[in-house]
Structure 1
Amino acid sequence: MSKTRVLTGITTTGTPHLGNYVGAIRPAIEASKQDDVQSYYFLADYHAIVKARDPERIHQSTKEIAATWLAFGLDTDKACFYRQSDIPEIMELNWIISCLTAKGLMNRAHAYKAAVQLNDDEGSSDPDKGITMGLFGYPVLMAADILVLNAQKVPVGKDQIQHLEMTRDIAGRMNHHYKVGFNLPDAVVDVDSAVLSGLDGRKMSKSYDNTIPLFVPEKKLRKLIMKIKTNSLEPGEPKNPHSCTLFEIYSAFATEEEIQAKRAQYEAGAAWGELKQELFEYLNNHLKEPRAKYEELLNNPDYIEDILNKGAAKARAETTPLLEKIRHSIGIRPINV
C-alpha cells in the first residue's frame, strides 16, 4: 500500500505550551498512527536562528520540544523524528534550489514585505534595514525541508500557505529544468484545529508572553490558571462559557459529556475561583503522566539524542540518494561519468 508522505517542522525557539499541544502536537501524533501515512517530524533548529540569538535558548528548546513529543507517545519506530541540522542534504539542496529561485518571488514573501513595511513606517531611508538573508531566504529553506524528503502533504497554518505555494513553484522549476521528479506538495490547513487563548484573552503565543507551558510543576500550573483573565460577574450570576478562556481550555481536553456538564455550571452561575480550581485539577490530572515522562526524558538526554540520531539515519537513507541524483542531474558528478 502506497503511503502519503506528510512532513511537519517545529521551530526550536521556546517552551511548548498548551496551545502548541492542542493545535499541533496532539493532531500530528494522532495522524502519525494512520497506516496509510508516512510521517516526518523535524526540529527546525536552523530556522530558529533566523530570529533567536540566544544559543542556550535554542539548545534548551530543542531538548524540551523533543522530550515533549516523546512524552506524549510519538512512536519513533513508525514516524521519522529528526533534527534539521543533522541532515546536511537539506542545506545542500537549499543552495541548489536557491540558484533557480527568482528574487522577485522572494520579494513577495509576507514576512519580508512586513519587515520592509515596518522600516518604511519608521521612516528609515533603507527599506532593508535590519533584514537578514536568513529572513529573506526563509521560504527557500522551508522548500528544501519539504523537497528533500519529497513530501506530499504539509500541515500548516494559514500564514504559511504562501510558503507552500512557493515550494510548488520551486519544485516545478527544478522538474522542468532538471527532470528531478519532485512531488508538488499540498498545504493542509485544518480549519477545525483548536486555537487556545492565553492568560490575557489573546491567542496563546510566546510573542504575547501569555502562555501556559505544558509541563510546569503543579504549583506553577495552578498559579498561572488563577491568573487567567475573567470578567467581573459575581457568584450566582449566569456566565457565558463561549466567551471564556477557562471554558475554551477545558473544552480542548474534555469529552463532550464533560463539556456539557461544565456548560451547565456556567449557566448556574459558578464562581470564577471554583471554575479556575476545577480547570487546574482537570489539567493537572490530564498532564500528570506525560509530565512524569517528560521529566524522566530531560534527565536522560542521551536517550533523546539517540532517538534523534536514529531518526536522522532513517531520513538520510532517503535524502542521501536523492541528493546524489540531483547532483548528477545538474552536472555535478565525477569526471569519468
Structure 2
Amino acid sequence: MKKQVLTGIKPTGRVHLGNYIGAIKPALELAQNEMYQPAYFVADYHGLTKIHDKEEMSQLSRGIAATWLALGLDPEKAIFYRQSDVPEIFELSWILACFTPKGLMNRAHAYKSIVEENAHTGRESDTGVNMGVFTYPILMSADILLFQTDLVPVGKDQIQHVEIARDIAENFNHTYGDTFTLPQHVIEKETAVLPGLDGRKMSKSYNNTIPLFEEPKKLQKLINKIKTDSTPPEAPKNPDDSIIFTLYKEFAAEDQINEMRSRFTSGISWGQAKKELFDVMNARLEEPRQKYNELMETPEKLNEILQAGAEKARQKARPFLEEVKIKIGLQ
C-alpha cells in the first residue's frame, strides 16, 4: 500500500520562497518516491477567509495551480485538484465539526493571535474574525482526512493544524471505530521558519516575501534588500546563521553549496554573496518561470487539468465519505 501524501496552498497572495521551501519542494520530492501517492490542491475556499474580490480570487487561484505545474508536478501521476471542485470535502467538514470541541478551535493559533492583538489594541475580542477564520482548522482537517492522508508536508506554523486533524479523527474513531487514518506532519527542519527580507518570518502579512517567479531585475533588487549584519567583507561568516546561505542551498548543486560554505568561512562580502544567490536562483527558476507565465496566459488549459484532477479526487473521496455516513447512521 502506498502512503498518501497531501498538501495544498491557499490563494491569499503570490507564491513566495517560504511556500516553495516549506511545502512545495518537500511535497514534490516525496512524490518522486514510488512508496507514496501524492495529492496536491489549490485551497481556494481557505482563501475565502481573506479574499473577497472575485477577480483577485480567480487570479490568485490560477497562480497556485500554475506554480505547482511549472515546478514539475505531473497531473498524470498525482491527484491535482481545486478544493472547491470537490464537494465531498465540505460535506465531511460539517460532519467533523460535530465532533470538534469549541475549545479546540479557541486554541488554534490563527484565531488566538487575532484575539490577542484585539486585546492589545483595546478592541472587542472577535473583531475581524469571520466564522471561516474560526473554523478553518476543521475544513483543513476535512481536506486531510477525506483522502486517508498519511503524510502532510507543511511549514512549522501549520503543524498545529495537522495535530488538530489527528485530534478530530481520534474523537470520531473513538465513537465509531477505526475509520480515519491519523496523519503525520512532515517539515523541512533546517528551514522550518524561513526568514524574510527584514529578518522576521517570511510572510505575506509582513510584506517581506520574495515572490517565487519574480522577474530577474526585481528578483535581484529584492535579494539585495535582505537584511545582513555589519561584518566586514573579509571577515569569516557563519553560513548556518545566514538567510543568504539558507536560500542558496535550496537552489544550488552540491558542489556549489560546498564551495559557498568554504567562501563564507574564509570571508566573502555580503554583496558578493547576494550576487551568487541571485545567479543560482535565477538559473534554477528560469525555465519554471517561463512555463508559469505560459500557463497563466492559458486559463482554459489550467481549468481542464484541474477539472480532470477533481474527478480523480472525487473517485477516491466518494466511496470513503459513504463509509463515514453509514457509520454515523445517515445511509
Give the alignment's TM-score, normalised by structure 2.
0.90
Matched-pair contact (CA < 8 Å) for 1:43–1:84: yes
> What secondary structure, in the 3-state scheme, does the structure 2 residue paired with 1:93 have?
helix
Seen in structure 2, the aligned counterparts of structure 1 residues 260 and 76 have a Cα distance that, compared at 3 Å, is: same
Counterpart for residue 80 of structure 2: 81
Counterpart for residue 286 of structure 2: 288
Deviation of 1:242 (Å): 3.9
Bigger mean CA offset, 176-185 vs 303-312: 176-185
**1:102 aligned to 2:101?**
yes
Matched-pair contact (CA < 8 Å) for 2:4–2:37: yes
Q: Separation in 2 of the partners of 1:329 and 1:242?
A: 51
Seen in structure 2, the aligned counterparts of structure 1 residues 117 and 197 have a Cα distance that, compared at 3 Å, is: closer
What residue identity is the alignment partner of 1:130?
A: G
Deviation of 1:240 (Å): 4.3
Deviation readout 1:253-287 (Å, 9 max, x if unpaired): 22332123223434554444333333222221111
Counterpart for residue 244 of structure 1: 242
Matched-pair contact (CA < 8 Å) for 2:96–2:142: yes
Identity of matched residues, %: 54
Q: Separation in 1 of the partners of 2:319 and 2:3?
A: 20
Matched-pair contact (CA < 8 Å) for 1:198–1:204: yes
Deviation of 1:164 (Å): 2.6
Q: Separation in 2 of the partners of 1:276 and 1:165?
A: 38
Q: What is the 5 A alignment of 1:244-263?
A: 244-263=242-261
What residue identity is the alignment partner of 1:262?
A: M
Counterpart for residue 129 of structure 1: 127
Rg (Cα) greater in structure: 1
Counterpart for residue 68 of structure 1: 67
Matched-pair contact (CA < 8 Å) for 1:82–1:309: yes
> What secondary structure, in the 3-state scheme, does the structure 2 residue paired with 1:41 have?
strand
Matched-pair contact (CA < 8 Å) for 2:155–2:192: no
Seen in structure 2, the aligned counterparts of structure 1 residues 218 and 5 have a Cα distance that, compared at 3 Å, is: same
Deviation of 1:12 (Å): 1.2
Deviation of 1:29 (Å): 0.6
Matched-pair contact (CA < 8 Å) for 1:180–1:326: no
Seen in structure 2, the aligned counterparts of structure 1 residues 120 and 70 have a Cα distance that, compared at 3 Å, is: same
What residue identity is the alignment partner of 1:4?
A: K
What residue identity is the alignment partner of 2:110?
A: A
Counterpart for residue 324 of structure 2: 326
Give the alignment's TM-score, normalised by structure 1.
0.89
Deviation readout 1:188-246 (Å, 9 max, x if unpaired): 34424465432223332222212221212222222222222334455545444444333
Matched-pair contact (CA < 8 Å) for 1:180–1:329: no
Aligned-pair Cα RMSD in Å: 2.3
In structure 2, runs of 5+ residues without a counterpart are none
Matched-pair contact (CA < 8 Å) for 2:191–2:246: no
Matched residue count: 331
Deviation of 1:61 (Å): 1.7
